[in-house]
Structure 1
Amino acid sequence: MSAAVTRNAGRRAILPHWATLPVVFGGIIVLLWVVVGITIPLWTPYDPTMLAGGRFQPPNASHWLGTDALGRDVLTRTLYGVRHSLPIAALVIFCAVLIGGTLGAIAGFVGGLVDSIIMRLVDVTLSFPPILLAMAVTAALGPGLGNAAIAMVIVWWPIYARLMRAQVLSVREREHVEAAIAAGATRPRVLTKHILPLCWSPIIVNATMDFGQVVLLAASLSFIGLGAVPPTPEWGQMISDGALHFYRWWIAAGPGIAILSIVLGFNFLGDGLRDFLDPRSK
């Protein structure tokens, strides 16, 4: 009994409490996809946009996920898809956090009329279903990953504005903030040095978990023809091609599994970050 207790205590000492199996699993998934996206041109035998074999070949030794309607290797296109999905998601999350976080911080700190104007704009934007708003904006701007990214930033920034405002409101009444104001610190300095550093934990967690959702929304826009333009190897567009030939299951299987793994990976990472950054769990 004592030996078992000692072994368990040793494991707890080696691994922090937040490093659970799902977190490790999610981190491995994300890391693998990042490595694949960086290195795939060095080792893939096929070009994602060029003919690699006969049309509609089922999975075989030469094409592990078969070929599509144009004879392109499905596995190669699936792996190349991460080079479009992850950068677009990173850009959308960065811009949404920058815009929403800035406006939310101003609204929470300044208050009054400024707060009312910003939050009414947030309420109007959030009143639309995200997918419908993204579709409307992308349809107005025209198909393309760049326009899809703009549409997704418009969808996501109000979420971070509301979250940052709530954090600023909860921090600005603390004693150290009042002490800084009493000491004569300027309002911009109080906001940037004494309030914002305490507001980023939930923003980081939310951004991590939203990463997979942005990938999913980008794929949805491409699926209906409002995202990537052919012959770009993008997961949503590949699933759309597979839907046209649903009895050739392998065309959509690869990108579908890729999207699932990305969403799961970032959700698991977000759970781990929430436990790691939660001061109550220290």
Structure 2
Amino acid sequence: MSLLANQSASSRFVWPEWATLPLVGGGLVIFAWVIVGLTVTSWAPFDPVKLAGMRFQAPSMEHWLGTDSLGRDVLSRTLYGVRHSFPIAVFVIGCAVVIGCTLGAIAGYVGGWLDGVIMRFVDITLSFPPILLAMAVTASLGPGLGNAAIAMVIVWWPIYARLMRAQVLSVRQREHVEAAVASGATRSRVLIKHILPLCWSPIIVNATMDFGQVVLLAASLSFIGLGAVPPTPEWGQMISEGAVQFYRWWIALGPGVAILSIVLASNFLGDGLRDYLDPRAA
């Protein structure tokens, strides 16, 4: 009997320790939206830019989230919106990480006047509120999702430059780095092989959490007319229309819930990754 009990106990599924509820829950929500973006063209109920019914139809069995001021299906436009928000977020975070981490690593390791120049430029950029700086840059370039993405890269890269510089300054004092320097390794090898591999955990966590914030900022720029150009099915633009027609609540409901779910999911996923990559922070 004891042998059978031990075999049954050993056959049970053991939930991995790293698979915490925030990590799994946030990851599943983000993954679900990615699947929606990749497959929505084959199963969305209506074309997002074409007439689908009467204007301002309330939610019904035919139109689950109703129609907007031009008779377009709100649910279809909400689902198609992820095809614009996610690529922008990936582009902005990717460019910000590459630019910011490169300059931050150089500033932290080289030091001297180069560190002073880079960090003073970072301080100047960070002194402006992100939304105001993004608005100013986008307004100077002209409305459009591409220009909005460039503006958000300008807003976000200094954050990663400062974070990477702090990590490099912390790691460069460790014994294994000093040993590599004493052994005659070049400065570039020391930086790439011995310092940077220990600096990526907070960068990954911060980038994960910033993903939702970029989606939110992109929607904010579209909300005030500096992002997507009509008739692009973009969440911020849809919420702007719903704000004008506030008594027709269904117009803004879909995109609002979509943004909320992504922001919450990215924060939960970032918290889970932080606990996994740095258990001391848990």
Which TM bucket (shorter chain)?
over 0.9
Q: Provide the aligned length of Structure 1 versus Structure 2.
A: 274
Deviation at 1:254, TM superposition (A): 0.3
* Cα-to-partner distance string for 1:120-139 (whole Å, 9 max, x where unaligned): 00000000000000000000
Alignment pair present for 1:41 and 2:41: yes
Whether 2:115 is the aligned partner of 1:115: answer yes
1:212 maps to what in 2?
212
Contact kept, 8 Å, 2:176 with 2:194, in 1: the verdict is yes
- Mind listing any 5+ residue stretches in structure 1 that lack a counterpart? 1-5
TM-score, normalising length: structure 1: 0.94
Contact 2:44–2:76 (8 Å) recurs in 1: yes
1:280 deviates by 3.5
Q: Could you tell me how far apart the structure 2 residues matched to 1:56 and 1:152 are?
A: 34
TM-score, normalisation: structure 2: 0.94
Distance (Å, rounded) in 1 between the aligned partners of 2:269 and 2:257: 18
Alpha-carbon distance in structure 2 between the residues aligned to 1:231 and 1:48: 9
Pairwise CA distance, 1:13: 8.4
Whole-angstrom distance in 2 between the partners of 1:64 and 1:203: 40
2:181 equivalent to 1:186 = no
Query: 2:142 corresponds to which residue?
Result: 142
Q: Within the alignment, does 1:85 sit opposite 2:97 as a pair?
A: no
Post-superposition offset of 1:14: 2.1
Match of 1:228 in 2: 228
Which residue does the alignment assign to 1:3? none
1:253 aligns to 2:256 (yes or no):
no
Q: Is 2:61 the counterpart of 1:67?
A: no
Aligned to 1:242: 242
Q: Report the CA distance between 1:281 and its aligned residue.
A: 7.1
Summarize deviations over 1:242-266 as a string: whole Å, max 9, x none: 1111110000000000000000111
How do residues 19-58 of structure 1 correspond to structure 2 at under 5 angstroms?
19-58=19-58
SS in 1 for 2:42: helix
SS in 2 for 1:14: coil
RMSD of Structure 2 on Structure 1 (CA): 1.7
Give me the whole-angstrom Cα distance separating, in 2, the residues matched to 1:263 and 1:16.
Answer: 25
Specify the SS of the correspondent of 2:239: helix
Q: Report the AA paired with residue 222 of structure 2.
A: S
* Cα distance in structure 2, aligned partners of 1:44 and 1:281: 42
Question: 2: CA distance between counterparts of 1:58 and 1:268?
Answer: 33
Percent identity over the alignment is: 79
